[in-house]
Structure 1
Amino acid sequence: MIARVRAFLALAFIMAATLVLAPLQVVALKTGWWRETRVLRLWHRALLKGLGIRVHATGTLSDKRPLLVASNHLSWTDILVLGSLADVNFIAKSELEGWPLLGWLSKLQRTVFIERERKRKSGDQASEIAVRLGKGDAMVLFAEGTTGDGNMLLPFKSTLFGAASMAVAEGAASEVYVQPVAICYTRLHGVSFGRRDRHFASWIGDEDLAPHALALLRERALDVEVHFGEPVVFSKGASRKETARLVEQRVQALMEKALRYPQPALPRK
């Protein structure tokens, strides 16, 4: 009963925050009166507050541009986590664009949707991302191409680094910085996750969104760590495969450190 009441109140808070901040985001996009990422950071933080997810960051987003952020991917909440910490935009699979509510919210975040199965469109999509990089937008790429279970890192897809290659090739930039980032959900109610427990935070494959979101709302006591690594320079003549492998190795190292030595749990307010 208490869990249901807690979930209801949390959902009401999230809806209220969205009703207030979403119109402000629309105004920002249409008028340019203020940078749209200002509203987004408030929005993401409000949603995390409602979900009871507490974020611990080690390091910061690089101030170098053009910047492509290459991160592992565990759940839809990763977007909220990264968006609460830095002014970033996202690259997402095209299916998300048609989802009720989430598709609309993603468009308000100026998300670039890519169709990974349609190779004929990959060049146009990479070109769009390259233009955004050239304009100074920090673009987040979930380089595994899907979500993992939180225990192991899936191989990074080198084709997803095509935007960095195109930005350099087309002269939008002489080099692109690729920053490795690791996201790790480490605790529930202050207790460290074991290998068998990490699936609670993960949203894998074709799993329904509603049950997963409801489970988070009922518990409202999740801790996540975000570790920012040093950027890798991608310049003319660089190999996408080698860059993908190097960034993957760095994300793997950050992820292993976070899981092996999770930050201490602090009292919740």
Structure 2
Amino acid sequence: MARAESAAVEPVVGEPAAVADLGRERALLVADVHAGVEVGLRYERGVELDDRADERRERLCALIAETDADRLVVLGDLAHRIAAPEGEEREELEALVRAVTDRVPMTLVEGNHDAGVAEAFADDLDVIGAGGGLLDGAADGGDEPARSRTGRVAVLHGHTWPDPALLDADVVCMGHEHPQVRLEDAVGGSRVERAWLRGELDPDAFVEGGLGADGDVSADPPELVVFPAFNERSGGTWANVDGQSFLAPFLPDALPAGDAYLLDGTRLGDFRRI
């Protein structure tokens, strides 16, 4: 059965963020904020970097204002260290969560770095579990189902196998990978840039163990959107470099023909052939 109407998930040009039209609610989506990354790198590797906590917080708040968003959704890894947040990292998180929630509600899709965050800020955040979930735009309590007004948007982090119910969405948005592309010029120079990956999702590869012969596969499967990391210091997966392993258990198989896009909107084509 074909989907009645596609969901609108549009990247914000020049930013690692997108806006999702949920019908009665407009959500700003970002992935992999990795608050406290400087503290983590100092602890893990002895690397000293200038602190960009204020800059990250101000960028998020500015994007909320610029996009006229009703909600912020973080697609996992709001924090950097996997343990419960403490010290400078917790201070950054407290300031960030307070600044955002003074403006709009905030939803955290639990990532592999977020178990302690979800618990510590349970009173301030709406939390979606690691298997992911569907965003519902009926925020004002209307009786009309969100699906009848606009397409459904599913969200997950991507570090574990997703809930098969996400296949009912029109668009599936995920983080975790921090996709990047390495671009070479005519004289042999190269640079690495953050990128979006987008394409039709293979439902059978998206579900742990496959759907099997009795699996209910839609004739019009969802689009999969892999978000670039919001935090440019958090590293990433080089999507177009041979031998680079993806982090999600269902990638790259669940994205058999995905295109890569730069933050400025430049379409690079199939990420496997860049």
More helix by share: 1
Give the structure, 1 or 2, with the largest relative contact order (CA under 8 Å, sep 6 or more).
1
* TM-score between both structures, scaled by the size of structure 1: 0.31
* TM-score between both structures, scaled by the size of structure 2: 0.31
